[in-house]
Amino acid sequence: MDQLFGLSHNATLLIWTLIAIVFLIVLIAKFKWNPFVTLLLSALMLGLLAGMDPQDLIKSVTGGLGGTLGTIAIVIGLGTMLGKMMAESGGAERIATTLIDRFGVKRVHWAMMIVGFIVGIPVFFEVGVILLIPIIFLVARKTGMSLLKIGIPILAGLSTVHGLVPPHPAPMIAIEAYNANLGRTILYSLIVGLPTAIIAGPIFGKFIGNRIVVHPPQELADQFASKEERELPGFGITLFTILLPVILMLIGSIADIVDPQGVNGFTHVAAFIGHEVIALLISAVFAFFSLGFARGFSKEDVSRFTSECLAPTASIILIIGGGGAFKQVLIDSGVGGAIADIASQTHINVILFAWLVAALIRIATGSATVAMTTAAGIVAPVLAVSSGVNIELVVLATGAGSLILSHVNDAGFWMIKEFFGMTVGQTLKSWTAMETILSVVGLIFIMILSVFV
């Protein structure tokens, strides 16, 4: 199947790739197949259509899956443990209540965006939503504000971190694929992410909250209101625990910039503790003490928390692994090279290309993770033959594209609809619009930043 209707080799490979991606999208979006299984099937289909030897194809699939999960699986596991300790200790509630007190009722929606941004760093988006829904209900009840005016800023903060800010697994996928610098990616993600979250969060939240007035579903409101009161951890120690992995990574990157030759012994130490795996390991262990033992939890409690939180991550880890397998087949079959050749000949803007590929896959499959992993495999070969491109901004563009237009094929869409007690139409006008604003505004800020860096 190397040639098709007399077309060039590159054109044939692109047609097979398109067929494989359509197959992937249809099975996930229409037939609701498991994304992990579908990614593996699509990878095998593409490899066979492209003429790969079956044994080489198997090695490509297993190598891509294992290579992708080598770091990401550890990051997800340790980050999830850190988030679990924050949830069980009441750390998220402490951050929320402190910022509300400092900002005041009139500016509480700004505080909510900061809460979402901070809490979202160590946890998955879905976990962050479940963690913060009681706080959203509590604040809405105390202030009498529209649920959307409180909720949209939190969701914007959570979603921005999910798509743009390391060490969150989504941007880490692209960092690994593009071989980007972690420290610079963190710095650029904050420069782009904060103003993007402000526009899509407090500003849009105030606009839509005045037009769509919704109240917490009574059963959920009663359930969260009846929780027992507990003493919360201190604001300072909670904030330090959550931000510790980011601080350690930035120390490693700064040391590398100051001493690129590694002459100073401290540079080697900083590089070691600044590696994402080591930084998250140190932070997770620190959280066992700061948010665990220091809060009165026993060693059995901490052990149970860290075991319980890993089970829900199995699906996301497998999906990322499947995306890695698909990415490797794209490269080994020659498809990546074919895309790179065409992209270099057309002089396409790689940042815009990365955003567009991720956006199209996100809209079709409903999964930001599938969009991120698949787009990384398509964009990486183009990036390899492109000169003068800021790799870290391509990472952010891929993440921004993966956030766009969450609609009825996205599990997150239905989660927000049910928690906020909205109709499908209201969810499209609020949640879907917010995600699209995040994606488009994020791209605009990335393109502006690309002029200067």
> Does any domain span residue 208?
yes
- 276: confidence class by pLDDT, cuts 50, 70, 90: confident
Other Cβ atoms closer than 10 A to 179: 10
Structural domain for 397, as ranges:
9-450
- 226: confidence class by pLDDT, cuts 50, 70, 90: very low
> Does any domain span residue 229?
yes
- Nearest one of 65, 20, 102 to 323, comparing CA atoms: 65
Higher pLDDT, 164 or 105: 164
Contact between 374 and 326 under an 8 Å Cβ cutoff? The reply is: yes
- Stretch among 65-79, 153-167, 182-196 having the lowest mean pLDDT: 65-79
The helix (run of H) or strand (run of E) holding residue 228 is: none
> Does any domain span residue 3?
no
Q: What integer is the mean pLDDT of 320-345?
A: 77
Higher pLDDT, 371 or 338: 371
- Stretch among 103-107, 226-230, 379-383 having the lowest mean pLDDT: 226-230
pLDDT tens digits for range 148-173? 888 999 999 999 998 898 877 778 88
Over pLDDT 70: what percentage of the chain? 90
Count of structural domains within the chain: 1
- Predicted confidence at residue 227, as pLDDT, reads 46
- Predicted confidence at residue 216, as pLDDT, reads 67
Preceding amide of 167 cis, omega within 30 = yes
Q: 384 to each of 340, 355, 375, 389, 397, how far by Cα in Å?
A: 8, 17, 14, 10, 16
- Predicted confidence at residue 40, as pLDDT, reads 93
CA distance 290 to 288: 6
Higher pLDDT, 439 or 137: 439
- With a cut of 70, say whether residue 218 has pLDDT above it: no
> Does any domain span residue 68?
yes
> Does any domain span residue 86?
yes
> Does any domain span residue 2?
no
- Predicted confidence at residue 309, as pLDDT, reads 78
Q: What integer is the mean pLDDT of 243-259?
A: 79
> Does any domain span residue 172?
yes
- Stretch among 51-60, 127-136, 271-280 having the lowest mean pLDDT: 127-136
> Does any domain span residue 241?
yes
- With a cut of 80, say whether residue 288 has pLDDT above it: yes
Sign of CA dihedral 163, 169, 173, 178: positive
